[in-house]
Structure 1
């Protein structure tokens, strides 16, 4: 007999399976861009996987009577949901396959890590500790994770920009023919599109990050009596904010173009993962509830 918990697990496992298939489809389309129907299938599968994960998270919310963001497992599931939801909106608006290619890849990673590598004990829901019994749990943590997902998609596009541009330069340096003294217009357009998309998406994620940090400070004052305590998580969140503030400052002032801001975005991608995962495993802090034993 199926229970609600079993249905929840089925939904999450189905999401992971579909994410693997959709990732393969997107990358096949990048190799064979003439097959437009392939990209539509991939987009449809992402919508389907987002639907299943929404059901899974909703059931977990209903069963346990709190918004599912109290531990690492639930956080990774919500991050995966954020990747898919943001991808669906961005790909629909921007009409660009690269958004789906990078987003599905990192979604597959987060779902795989949460399902296959986390111990069963960490996947089980437990009663909330007193500090987490607050409406700020949904406000602060959900906004922070949405900002992480948005910023990481933008950063991945910058990383793809660096990879493609470096390959083009190597190709040009190896070929001495006068016919390839400069990149073709199609290659330049591709790099410009990646650069512009990265900038626009990071510009969307930065206000979310700012709002999430402000909400966290208000919650910290309510829970611990101080707006800022230089907890490791808080410190790295500030570092993350500064990295992307520098990125946007250089882009708005047009002092840097092309590779330099893309390198900053690549650094930002690493910093986000350190802030999101690394800090919790390096050492305990006020934000370590349900993450490490």
Structure 2
């Protein structure tokens, strides 16, 4: 028994040090992206993306290691969910960069959020890997959470593209982009939301089906359910606004940013708010 506990302790120490390395890599990329945005130095942007790629590969191995070690999907605790969120966000960003490598500045908001998530998880949450809670032992657990986090990651990258588009519109001399290239960024942000929206819809519907299996009701106006619906509504409004030429430039970008804020509240803000106000919620993380 003591030998097993010792091995688990050694594995946890190794895991934490590796997570610190991943966090340090993302932080280095953030510094390079910031320098790229402030100076227009293209090489620093490329180096930043390369470091994010290295960090994401190591992060992938760590998530796989924890999955094997815990014997369950690695997103039960807040520590694990923050790590999964950072991984999904950086992986989605790298996928988009492979398709659209023109402006590396898109990585600045993505990596900033990922660095915050990892450092917050590392220094404020319990990194232990407890067994799966009884309420989570459902076939819905795997797909509901994976799809929801993929939606979140797509929205993070869409928001980043939107922010870069707005920045470049106000500072066109920074990159010498044409009006058509500005429009392409705007369209990319829209396509990402158009991809994330059905993923979020599936996340909400699968969560309702899971709730019905577990507690005998599809919907209970739990704080997270309510804010998921608010987030869904804001992104639906964004898609509608983008479809209207008169609203596409004037309102749609800001609805996209508002949807991102609502998504962050849904993901992590509700956890704090429910505990602070003593509101019962089935979605509050235990650690």
TM-score (norm 2): 0.86
Distance, in Å, in 1 between the alignment partners of 2:71 and 2:177 is 53
Moved over 6 A (4+): none
2-structure distance, mates of 1:34, 1:277: 34
CA 1:190–1:224: 2 relative to 1, 3 Å: same
SS in 2 for 1:256: helix
Question: Which residue is equivalent to 1:113?
Answer: 120
Q: CA deviation at 1:225?
A: 1.1
- Alignment partner, residue 178 of structure 1: none
Distance of 1:265 and 1:279 partners within structure 2: 20
Q: Contact (CA 8 Å) 2:271, 2:285: kept in 1 or not?
A: no
**2:12 corresponds to:** 5
- 2:281 pairs with 1:290: no
2:88 to 66, 82, 94: 82
Q: Shift of residue 66 of structure 1?
A: 0.9
**Partner in structure 2 of residue 155 of structure 1:** 159
Q: Give CA deviations for 1:151-187 in whole Å, capped at 9, x if unaligned.
A: 122123323444554578xx9xxxxxxxxxxxx9846
CA change 1:185–1:101 in 2 (3 A) is closer
Task: For structure 1, list consecutive stretches of 5 or more residues without a partner in the other structure.
Answer: 172-183
Which residue in the other structure is 2:242 paired with?
251
Corresponding residue for residue 253 of structure 2: 262
Which of 123, 128, 132 is 2:132 aligned to?
A: 128
Distance in structure 2 (CA, Å) of the matches to 1:186 and 1:153: 20
Name which of 61, 75, 82 aligns with 1:69: 75
Structure 2 unpaired stretches of 5+: 1-5, 275-279
CA distance in 1, matches of 2:147, 2:167: 30
Could you say which residue in structure 1 is the equivalent of 2:57? Answer: 51
Q: Which of 205, 214, 228 is the matching residue for 2:205?
A: 214
Tell me which of 130, 136, 143 is aligned to 1:139.
143
TM-score, normalised to structure 1, is 0.85
User: Which residue of the partner structure matches residue 180 of structure 1?
Assistant: none
Determine helix, strand or coil for the equivalent of 2:245.
Answer: coil
Inter-partner Cα distance in structure 1 for 2:42 and 2:146: 37
Which aligned pairs between 1:17-56 and structure 2 lie closer than 5 A?
17-33=24-40, 35-36=42-43, 38-56=44-62
